[in-house]
């Protein structure tokens, strides 16, 4: 995917914000792709965790906001266990999600979950989904 890096597209503010919310020194990422190779959600996503971190570090605000992958991460911590730079990747992804959720827009609409599902889902499924995917 070609990325345009120019004064028009680069927004340093997004790199700073994600660093601030996640508390992670994400510019340490060396783009090795270990995280992407381990991620169970990578195949279903539009971008890999490595790619997403790259976009943040390049200040590509629009592309970061558009990336569906931030919703897909299951916070499973498989990547974090092996990142050679010691980065907590799920924290970085959570920060991106929060940047969007804090605009008060839900990703999951609780009222749209089918009634039959509500009866069968364990409580922890709903509580965690609402924690991760609603404002």
The one of other proteins, ligand SF4, none whose footprint includes residue 29, by CB under 5 to 8 A per kind, is: ligand SF4
Residue 31 vs 118, nearer CB to ligand SF4: 31
CA 128 to CA 81: how far, in whole Å?
22
CA distance 11 to 27: 15
Q: Which of residues 7-46 bind ligand SF4 (CB under 6 A)?
A: 29-35, 38-41
Query: Whole-number minimum distance, CB 7 to ligand SF4, in Å?
Result: 26
Binding partner of 33, given other proteins, ligand SF4, none, CB within 5-8 angstroms per partner class: ligand SF4
What's the rounded Cα separation, in Å, for the pair 113 and 127?
13
DSSP state string for 51-115: HHHHHHHTTBHHHHHH-THHHH-----HHHHH-TT---HHHHHHHHHHHHHTTT--SS-GGGS-H
Residue 96 within binding range of ligand SF4, rule CB under 6 A: no
**Binding to ligand SF4 by residue 90, rule CB under 6 A?**
yes
Q: Where along the sequence are the contacts to ligand SF4 (CB under 6 A)?
A: 29-35, 38-41, 49-50, 53, 73-79, 83-85, 87, 89-90, 93
């Amino acid at each position: 995917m070609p990325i345009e890096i120019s004064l028009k597209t680069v927004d340093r503010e997004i790199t700073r914000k994600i660093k601030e919310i996640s508390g992670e020194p994400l510019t340490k990422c060396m783009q090795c792709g270990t995280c992407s190779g381990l991620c169970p959600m990578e195949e279903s996503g539009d971008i890999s965790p490595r790619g997403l971190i790259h976009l943040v570090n390049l200040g590509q605000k629009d592309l970061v906001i558009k990336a569906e992958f931030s919703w897909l991460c299951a916070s499973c911590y498989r990547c974090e266990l092996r990142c050679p730079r010691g980065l907590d990747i799920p924290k970085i992804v959570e920060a991106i999600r929060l940047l969007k959720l804090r605009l008060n827009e839900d990703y999951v609409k609780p009222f749209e979950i089918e009634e039959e599902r509500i009866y069968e889902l364990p409580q922890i499924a709903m509580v965690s989904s609402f924690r991760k995917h609603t404002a």
